[in-house]
Chains A and B, each alone.
Chain A
Amino acid sequence: MSLLHWAVLSPFLLAFIIPILYKLFRQIHTGWFVMILPIVLFTYFSRFIPLTKQGEVITERAAWIPSLGIHVDFYVDGLGLLFALLITGIGSLVVLYSVFYLSKEKERLNQFYVFLLLFMGAMLGVVLSDNLIVLYSFWEFTSLSSFLLIGYWNERERSRYGAQKSLLITVLGGLSLLGGIILLSIMGNTFSIRELILQSGELMDHPLFTPALLLVLLGAFTKSAQFPFHIWLPDAMEAPTPVSAYLHSATMVKAGIYLVARLSPVFAESGLWFWLVSIAGLITLFWGSFSAIKQTDLKGILAFSTISQLGLIMSLLGLGAAALHHESLGENIYLAATVAAVFHLINHATFKGSLFMVAGIIDHETGTRDIRRLGGLMQLMPITFTVALIGAFSMAGLPPFNGFLSKEMFLASMVNVLELDIFNMETWGVLFPVLAWVASVFTFIYSMIVVLKPFTGKLQLQLLEKKPHEAPIGMLISPIILASLVIVFGIFPNLLSSRIIKPAVAGIQPSLVGPDFQVHIAFWHGFQPEVWMTVGIIAFGILLYKTLQKWQKITQWIPERISLNALYDNGVRGLEHSASSVMKVLMTGSIRTYLLSIFLFFILSLGFTLYWKDAFKFDTGNFAPIGFYEIVLAAIIVIGSIAILFAKSRLTSIIILGAVGYTISLFFVLLRAPDLALTQLVIETISVSLFLLCFFHLPLMASRREERMTFRLNNALISIGVGVIVTLIALSAHSNKLFDSISNYYLENAYKEAGGKNVVNVILVDFRGLDTMFEISVLSIAALGIFAMIKLRATGGKDKP
């Protein structure tokens, strides 16, 4: 356990303490305690910047399951560090913002911050783990904490719906990622990402390469809300706004992007990877920006815009893969796509974070986020307006903000695609810049909607729930910091280029980034195609925004019932229906039916196995001589068992059953097994008395006569079948001695190793002690279950007396 391990685990540890602090200091907003941690962690991680700048990598190991080769290896390189800084940096700002956003009187702050800390720790774990299994565990933890946070206001139906949707989709992806990880580990014989990267050349030719690639990408696409899995993200907006700003725009949804970037060195040489990642990204970019325009909820617009921007970053990562095929070129133009992806990732976190916080402020101050009701807030909330303006212009790709720079780089990369002559790009490549340009026009339009609709136009006070005024200063600090970063990164982009961006790019494409590789981001490169594209975007954007009323109907051309959401809803509903119909057939509530199906299954499966494996064998060779007592006891048992069938009353049946049980314990005495005899004797006593007690609960028979079940052929057949199968198995087990019995080992070692002379007991408490441990756990669960079912059973609306 190194300091790095403690840094990643610290959010989990704090999550344990927060509820206590919440109880002790109700007067102080819990958020203040939480805020310290991300700030400390941010400072801690920023100390790594000079190290990763020089291309160093910090690795710390702690053993977790050494026998399976699973170690908690944390590993800080440029890529991981970039994400760690985002998580802790945005995390600090979001926690500060939440202190003012969530009321300490009304909200369950202890739960909120515990979930948030769980997420923070899990996300740090995802981006810093080297071991894929560890990464996967943290990955699922982020899905879980996101589920809890979306459903935070669990009294709202929409919150529960959104939480369930996000969980179903992201966990589906998570499981597929696990599949991919297992395939990777089979191919490379390791769980370590770095070791896999070293063997990437050999992995390419492995037959499992393509399935692994597809499974990993499915995981990444669901997490990063890529088309067609994007549908969960808009519904995730039911979470409190700080959560949306943090998880669903700046960090968690970028876990998929992180995974694609991290595993690029393993997969990127394949043409399939190039196509899937870049096309999925482009379609998402286009579809997200197109759908954003028809939204009326401010957070809905931002959600779709996040989807679209994630698609943008994803497509850039896909294009960056082309760089691997151009090593001979002096200046590798495709590497620029990867640089653009990293740069846009940072920019997106800044401007989208500030916009989400603005949306939260508007919601907080006016009581609505519906852009049809909002308007004219500019005069009332000038600071908020300024922040929104900066964020939206950056998102639209206008100078001098950081979004402009990365957008230009994005467009340039898309144009460069035209020169690509691999993977059939010469025919389809032209689609790339066209789709990118159209999507950028839509991006421009929705950015304008976000800033202009609420803040300009006519103020309609009667539509608002509260009288709006400027937000408290504490709520404004975080968006102001983010907006200033938008400007700073816009004017001085090279603050980031060698410190953050270059090391991160080196993490994505280690084979291409040498010591002489330099990232330089400039405002002006002369009249390149991307400049004209930007001019076109602004011109068309303004034109279309002005005429929005006339063509907005087109965005609704897909009817609701054939949309992806309807597909999801029908799927979930169908699943519930089929599950409940299966349950209705199987779970009748009658123990007789359950026993019938259990025994039937028993007969069929064991009978089939006996027949299939040809396992039946009857060998009288090593039988012990059968003595007089054995015959007598066996006769008693057989007669007793048959007598039970004909007994007239329940009491008689139970007494005969007890007699059979006691006879069996006599058998144990005969066979010199005192322990078993003793146990059987006591068990029989107790179970007979239990049966007597249960009499009370059996339904009263009509006219006080105890009625027996009538004879039924199929029941008889099943019971005879069970008897036959058990007998056959017992005989075969005795006749087939496939390997030496373990008894001798126990007999020899019971005293030597465990210091006990009673072998049975030594086995129970020592040799097979873990079995006993779990057996008593099962017993306990059963007892508590019976207690719960009887004591706490539903009283039909009435309170128990």
Chain B
Amino acid sequence: MKQNDLILQTVTKVAAFVILLFAVAIFLGGHYSPGGGFVGGLMTSAAIVLLLLAFDIKTVTGILPIDYKLMIGSGLFISTLTVAGGLLFGVPLMTHVYHYIDLPLLGHISLHTAVLFDLGVYLVVVGVTMTIIQTIGESE
């Protein structure tokens, strides 16, 4: 099934990056505006899926040589560590802490351990979606 994907490919080259950046933005902003690790992860996967549709699976694994199974593991690891981290300070599981700082250029910024937990969720979601899609897509 050889087709002429020129338009799709050209658009994808720009669109994928826009989607990726947007995904990161809603991931980081999750605590204050719509978004978060789950949606951010899904959107990232959507960007990669778009790449997969426009190009073929070999090209994409060439561009992004990531083992998504490893990504699942590291995501779970980060989340678990964040959850368990409270134990070290003698507070119950899942206790989050946050702090506000003022940075030049970026302004008033909050640093929150929830972001670490969300990072785990993000990684797991991307890992899971991409593992499933890649596995099904690759299999003969």
B51-85: which have CB < 8 Å to A? 53, 69, 72-73, 75-76, 79-80, 83
| Contact B121 A776, beta carbon cutoff 8 Å | yes
Residues in B neighbouring A784, C-beta threshold 8 A: 69, 72, 131
| Contact A790 B136, beta carbon cutoff 8 Å | yes
The yes or no answer to A769 lying at the interface (CB within 8 A) is yes
20 extra interchain contacts, Cβ-Cβ under 8 A, other than A679-B38, A689-B49?
Answer: A686-B42, A690-B132, A697-B139, A754-B96, A754-B98, A756-B31, A756-B112, A758-B32, A761-B36, A765-B31, A765-B121, A766-B96, A773-B79, A776-B79, A776-B121, A776-B124, A782-B132, A783-B127, A786-B131, A787-B131
Residues in A neighbouring B120, C-beta threshold 8 A: 776
When C-beta atoms are compared, the residue in chain A nearest to B68 turns out to be A783
Q: How far is the CB of A535 from chain B (nearest CB, A)?
A: 69
| Contact A686 B45, beta carbon cutoff 8 Å | yes
* Cβ-neighbour of A783 out of B37, B72, B94 (below 8 A): B72
Residues in B neighbouring A382, C-beta threshold 8 A: none
User: CB-CB contacts of A96-132 with B at 8 A, as 1s and 0s?
Assistant: 0000000000000000000000000000000000000
A646-682: which have CB < 8 Å to B? 674-675, 678-679, 682
The yes or no answer to B135 lying at the interface (CB within 8 A) is yes
Given A757-B32, A758-B34, A783-B72: A766 touches B114 (CB 8 Å cut-off): yes
* Cβ-neighbour of A769 out of B94, B112, B131, B139 (below 8 A): B94
| Contact B124 A679, beta carbon cutoff 8 Å | no
Q: How far is the CB of A760 from chain B (nearest CB, A)?
A: 7
| Contact A756 B124, beta carbon cutoff 8 Å | no
Q: Size of chain A's interface in residues, with CB distance under 8 A?
A: 40
Q: What's the Cα separation between A694 and B135 when bound, in Å?
A: 11
Q: How far is the CB of B66 from chain A (nearest CB, A)?
A: 14
When C-beta atoms are compared, the residue in chain B nearest to A789 turns out to be B135
A753-801: which have CB < 8 Å to B? 754-758, 760-762, 764-766, 769-770, 772-773, 776-777, 779-780, 782-784, 786-787, 790-791
| Contact A693 B136, beta carbon cutoff 8 Å | yes
| Contact A755 B124, beta carbon cutoff 8 Å | no
The yes or no answer to B43 lying at the interface (CB within 8 A) is yes
Q: What's the Cα separation between A786 and B128 when bound, in Å?
A: 10
Q: How far is the CB of B86 from chain A (nearest CB, A)?
A: 11
* Cβ-neighbour of B128 out of A675, A682, A693, A783 (below 8 A): A783
The yes or no answer to A581 lying at the interface (CB within 8 A) is no
Q: What's the Cα separation between A779 and B126 when bound, in Å?
A: 11
* Cβ-neighbour of A678 out of B32, B34, B98 (below 8 A): B34
| Contact B94 A777, beta carbon cutoff 8 Å | no
Q: What's the Cα separation between A766 and B93 when bound, in Å?
A: 11
| Contact A758 B36, beta carbon cutoff 8 Å | yes
Residues in A neighbouring B10, C-beta threshold 8 A: none
Q: What's the Cα separation between A385 and B32 when bound, in Å?
A: 84
Q: What's the Cα separation between A790 and B136 when bound, in Å?
A: 7
| Contact B139 A678, beta carbon cutoff 8 Å | no
| Contact B39 A765, beta carbon cutoff 8 Å | no
* Cβ-neighbour of B98 out of A755, A772, A776, A786 (below 8 A): A755
Q: What's the Cα separation between A611 and B112 when bound, in Å?
A: 48
Given A754-B114, A765-B114, A766-B94: A790 touches B34 (CB 8 Å cut-off): no
| Contact B31 A761, beta carbon cutoff 8 Å | yes
Residues of chain B having any CB pair with chain A under 8 Å: 26, 30-39, 42-43, 45-46, 49, 53, 69, 72-73, 75-76, 79-80, 83, 93-94, 96, 98, 110, 112, 114, 117-118, 120-121, 124-125, 127-129, 131-133, 135-137, 139
| Contact B131 A764, beta carbon cutoff 8 Å | no
| Contact A787 B69, beta carbon cutoff 8 Å | yes
| Contact B46 A770, beta carbon cutoff 8 Å | no
Residues in B neighbouring A761, C-beta threshold 8 A: 30-31, 35-36, 118
The yes or no answer to A430 lying at the interface (CB within 8 A) is no
Q: What's the Cα separation between A686 and B38 when bound, in Å?
A: 13
Residues in A neighbouring B110, C-beta threshold 8 A: 755
Residues in A neighbouring B139, C-beta threshold 8 A: 697, 790-791
When C-beta atoms are compared, the residue in chain B nearest to A777 turns out to be B76
The yes or no answer to A488 lying at the interface (CB within 8 A) is no
* Cβ-neighbour of A776 out of B35, B36, B53, B125 (below 8 A): B125
The yes or no answer to A481 lying at the interface (CB within 8 A) is no
| Contact A780 B128, beta carbon cutoff 8 Å | yes
| Contact B129 A686, beta carbon cutoff 8 Å | yes
Given A755-B31, A773-B79: A764 touches B38 (CB 8 Å cut-off): yes
The yes or no answer to A685 lying at the interface (CB within 8 A) is yes
| Contact B93 A765, beta carbon cutoff 8 Å | no
Q: What's the Cα separation between A756 and B117 when bound, in Å?
A: 14
When C-beta atoms are compared, the residue in chain A nearest to B29 turns out to be A758
Given A779-B128, A784-B69, A786-B131: A682 touches B34 (CB 8 Å cut-off): no
Residues in B neighbouring A675, C-beta threshold 8 A: 34-36, 39
Q: What's the Cα separation between A770 and B83 when bound, in Å?
A: 8
Q: How far is the CB of B99 from chain A (nearest CB, A)?
A: 9
Q: How far is the CB of B100 from chain A (nearest CB, A)?
A: 8
| Contact A787 B135, beta carbon cutoff 8 Å | yes
A356-400: which have CB < 8 Å to B? none
* Cβ-neighbour of B31 out of A679, A697, A758 (below 8 A): A758
| Contact A689 B133, beta carbon cutoff 8 Å | yes
Q: List 19 contacting pairs A-B, 8 Å CB cutoff, sorted by A.
A: A678-B26, A686-B129, A686-B133, A690-B136, A697-B139, A754-B114, A755-B31, A757-B31, A760-B36, A765-B30, A765-B37, A765-B96, A765-B117, A766-B94, A776-B79, A776-B121, A780-B75, A787-B69, A787-B135
The yes or no answer to A477 lying at the interface (CB within 8 A) is no
Q: What's the Cα separation between A311 and B129 when bound, in Å?
A: 61
The yes or no answer to A548 lying at the interface (CB within 8 A) is no
The yes or no answer to A683 lying at the interface (CB within 8 A) is yes
Q: What's the Cα separation between A325 and B63 when bound, in Å?
A: 85
Q: What's the Cα separation between A784 and B117 when bound, in Å?
A: 21
Q: How far is the CB of A100 from chain B (nearest CB, A)?
A: 44
Q: What's the Cα separation between A249 and B31 when bound, in Å?
A: 63
* Cβ-neighbour of A689 out of B36, B53, B93, B117 (below 8 A): B53
| Contact A772 B121, beta carbon cutoff 8 Å | yes
